[in-house]
Structure 1
Amino acid sequence: MKCFYAAGTEVHDPVFRLTLGNVLRNLERAERAHFLLDGLKQLGLPVSEPEAVPRAILEKVHTDRFLRFLETAWEEWQAVPGAGKEVVPNVHPLNSVSAYPEYIVGKAGWHMGDTSAPIGEHSWDAALGAASAAYSAAKTVLDGDRSTYALCRPPGHHTSADVLAGHCLLNNAAVAAETLRERHNRVAVLDIDVHHGNGTQEIFYERDDVLTCSIHATPENYYPFFVGYATETGRGAGEGFNLNLPLARSTSDDGWCAAIEQGLERIADFTPGALVVSLGLDAHENDPLQGLKITFDGFKRAGEIIGAANLPTVLVQEGGYLSPDLTTSLCSFLAGFKGQ
């Protein structure tokens, strides 16, 4: 299995985080990648630098104004007297009628859905690196490899066409899906991160060529709170092509793996040419965000189940936060997926 990682993404090391009224250190730190790289090393999987993602692929996923914002926000922010070292929004559009702002403080509120993904000096370069890993992994599958892994950092599945959130900048899974669509009429996205893949859902919500399926902790009392319910099934041409399987936060291996099997049954009915897996590892019982209670064995079983679907597959790294267990979780999943 070929693996891709842009080492330059480590220059993106966000600091700001707001949790329950407390300003804390951000959890999406550069050292996350080191835990994941250790897992690849233990499995003997080589890691390559990715090819740069074409702008045309990004424009299929995101609006032009969002891409321009992400590229220029930090410099605009620094030009404001008294600005901090990171772009962090302090106001958001809430009215039913809203005008797109010209001032950077307003644009930050427009394009940033929360405070968990502050933009620093090197965030745009890191976002491009993560998207490039997803793009190169998808291209490798198009070239004939059965499966690939993209170590994407920062992650992406909370970012919609126009709004970033939840530690995410560019939507890497959507980049992979759009790349696969160059050759496949239908592509499926299976998101097993502990959080609902709300950005990916929104990007494809009105389309019938990309089936999205997310298995996650219930949003009743867990991020992203406002979306991720089973009643969300698509809109217009996309009606019936979005499946959410929210789980109680007490769910452990059996319930989680059963939900993955249910999602794969719907994917099999869809008959896609290829599969993108948003591989969050934050469902682990020891993850700092405490969403579900999945063990290392559960991750291995999940890998086996997804591997048995026997589809050309791009594995795109999403969440999984600062704990040595992150290394073992990745090893467990990939071992199961590869049949080891």
Structure 2
Amino acid sequence: PPAGLDARLSYYSFDMAGSITETTWQAAKRAADTALAGADAVLSGERAAFALCRPPGHHAGRDFFGGYCYLNNAAIAAQRFLDNGHARVAIFDIDYHHGNGTQEIFYDRDDVLLASLHGDPDFEFPFHLGYARERGAGSGEGHNLNYPLPAGTDWPEWQAAFEDAHAKISAYAPTALVISLGVDTFKEDPISQFKLESEHFLTIGRRIADFALPTLFVMEGGYAVDALGVNAVNVLQGFQGT
């Protein structure tokens, strides 16, 4: 690592969005612990759990942070499932932005399948990664599924990608499921360019329930503050069948 402070920051971070303060580690550790508590609840027999993690995590990789993410909460939870008897885990990332950190962590592994729906990296953060051609390496070949979608994607197009990923996850036959739950696909999200309505999140929750798997929801993004709670709860209510 270089000696200069700014240089050291860029050595460990892929962007300049994540600030470091005296309480950053405490916040990041507690977010990861929240995801672990959710995984442990599912391991103890709960059908599902919702980990309300802040800061989020899916942009953090093995040895880098960025995109407001410091520890990869969903990846840490997935590993908890693997360490406690689950042979295969699927991570379904439905955040608007590509989970580049999650991809990097599991890219060469076959015990975790990652499927990610997101804005095309040709125009959208975090850029550079998230293309359909990135399918894993070594034993992980075919276990990384990216669905980059254009700006302005509305429900029918998004749903078609979701259903394709849904079928591939089912074919993988995981024994546990982690949802990287971003609701920044909402039409009024200020930093995103998809066009989902609040009612669509109910359908998303219902279709996630159709996997009939032990499920952990890990909160990622969502920046339309007034609608954030409504959309996240809609996913959970759809999952519960209410």
Q: Verify same fold: TM over 0.5.
A: yes
User: Is 1:114–2:15 an aligned residue pair?
Assistant: yes
Corresponding residue to 1:276 among 156, 178, 183: 178
Q: Which residue of 1 aligns with 2:90?
A: 188
Corresponding residue to 2:151 among 238, 246, 249: 249
Q: Which residue of 1 aligns with 2:60?
A: 159
1:232–1:243 contact (8 Å) kept in structure 2: yes
Partner Cα separation in structure 1 for residue 40 and residue 114 of structure 2 = 20
User: Is 1:261–2:163 an aligned residue pair?
Assistant: yes
Q: Which residue of 1 aligns with 2:112?
A: 210
Superposed CA deviations along residues 15-51 of structure 1, whole A, max 9, x for unmatched, are xxxxxxxxxxxxxxxxxxxxxxxxxxxxxxxxxxxxx
Post-superposition shift, 1:302? 0.8
Percentage of pairs with the same residue: 45
Q: Which residue of 2 aligns with 1:150?
A: 51
Post-superposition shift, 1:103? 5.0
Superposed CA deviations along residues 58-114 of structure 1, whole A, max 9, x for unmatched, are xxxxxxxxxxxxxxxxxxxxxxxxxxxxxxxxxxxxxxxxxx335544321111111
2:184–2:224 contact (8 Å) kept in structure 1: no
Corresponding residue to 1:173 among 59, 63, 74: 74
Q: Which residue of 1 aligns with 2:210?
A: 308
- Counting only pairs closer than 5 Å after superposition, residues 212-251 of structure 1 correspond to structure 2 as 212-251=114-153
For the aligned residues, what is the CA RMSD? Answer: 1.1
Post-superposition shift, 1:322? 4.6
2:10–2:16 contact (8 Å) kept in structure 1: no
Partner Cα separation in structure 2 for residue 277 and residue 115 of structure 1 = 26
Which shows bigger deviation, 185-194 or 262-271? 262-271
Post-superposition shift, 1:308? 1.0
Name the amino acid aligned to 2:210: A
1:188–1:211 contact (8 Å) kept in structure 2: yes
Post-superposition shift, 1:291? 2.3
2:90–2:112 contact (8 Å) kept in structure 1: yes
Partner Cα separation in structure 1 for residue 183 and residue 210 of structure 2 = 19
Name the amino acid aligned to 1:160: G
Superposed CA deviations along residues 203-248 of structure 1, whole A, max 9, x for unmatched, are 0000000111100111111111111000000011111100001111
Partner Cα separation in structure 2 for residue 102 and residue 147 of structure 1 = 46
The alignment's TM-score, normalised by the length of structure 2, stands at 0.96
Question: Which residues of structure 2 form unaligned runs of 5+?
Answer: none
Larger Rg, first or second structure (1 or 2): 1
**Paired residues, number:** 241
SS at match of 1:333: helix
Name the amino acid aligned to 2:233: C
Partner Cα separation in structure 2 for residue 338 and residue 127 of structure 1 = 29
Name the amino acid aligned to 1:171: N
Superposed CA deviations along residues 268-316 of structure 1, whole A, max 9, x for unmatched, are 1111110000000111001111321111111111111111111110000
Partner Cα separation in structure 2 for residue 139 and residue 307 of structure 1 = 19
Post-superposition shift, 1:253? 1.6
Corresponding residue to 2:24 among 123, 131, 138: 123
Superposed CA deviations along residues 312-334 of structure 1, whole A, max 9, x for unmatched, are 10000000015211111112111
